[in-house]
Amino acid sequence: MIDSRKEVLGEAFESNSDESLVELVHAGRSDALDYLIRKYHYFVRMKARSYFLVGADREDIIQEGMIGLYKAIRDFRADKLSSFRAFAELCITRQIITAIKTATRQKHIPLNSSVSLDKPVYEDESERTLLDMLTGPELDDPADLMVHREDFHRLEEEVNNVLSTLERQVLALYLEGRSYQEISDKLDRQVKSIDNALQRIKRKLEQHLAAGARR
């Protein structure tokens, strides 16, 4: 059944350019996202082979590369960039290098039991915040922006309410730029447990925001 679905996806999108596929993803086509991620998975693995992350195995590096790919899909704008592949390579490489730099830092960062939506996702690399990541493109209209800010603290509180203590701890460390292995060591949990927690976080936040949009 899964192989059959992959074949259907391949046939449906094989004639599309990467740039048009990203437009479909931005329009809400999850099948286009699945296709792009599968298409670039081998490319990510090849990029990951060039790097070594202290205290982590190769799958951790690949995972970081996949995060970089996801960011590329999320942030690509055809009106500003001509080639998605070049932008994806930049984002994948930057994400892996950021993970390596973070892994070599020896400073202690205390755990925070709550998550701030206006905290930069990757402090050394970007000013984008968790709120930006969850709500999509920036608002240009001043009136919309005012309403957005009025709802900010309410949304921040609601996000913390839907996450468990462990999930808040995992997300706080993840937003510091920590790798799965680092979070695992910090919380004394298996890497698989960290991965599962992040998947739950993503699912909960998406469901919460979708429910809020319907209200």
In degrees rounded to 5, what are phi and psi of residue 120?
A: -55, 135
Note the pLDDT of residue 213.
47
Q: What is the DSSP track for 103-154?
A: HT--------SS--TTSBSSTTT---BHHHHHH-SPP-SHHHHHHHHHTHHH
Domain count, the chain: 2
Q: What is the pLDDT of residue 210?
A: 58
Burial class (CB in 10 A: 0-12, 13-18, 19+), 28: exposed
Question: Do 94 and 171 sit in the same domain of this protein?
Answer: no
Interval 94-109 mean pLDDT = 68
Range of the domain at 189: 106-215
Please, what is the average pLDDT of the chain? Answer: 72
What pLDDT band is residue 87 in, cutting at 50, 70 and 90? very high
Q: Which amino acid is at 34?
A: D
Q: What is the CATH number of the domain that holds 87?
A: 1.10.1740.10
- Global pTM value: 0.47
Distance CA 31, CA 21 (A): 10
- The answer to whether residues 121 and 187 belong to one domain is yes
Among residues 81, 104, 127, which one ends one of the domains? 104
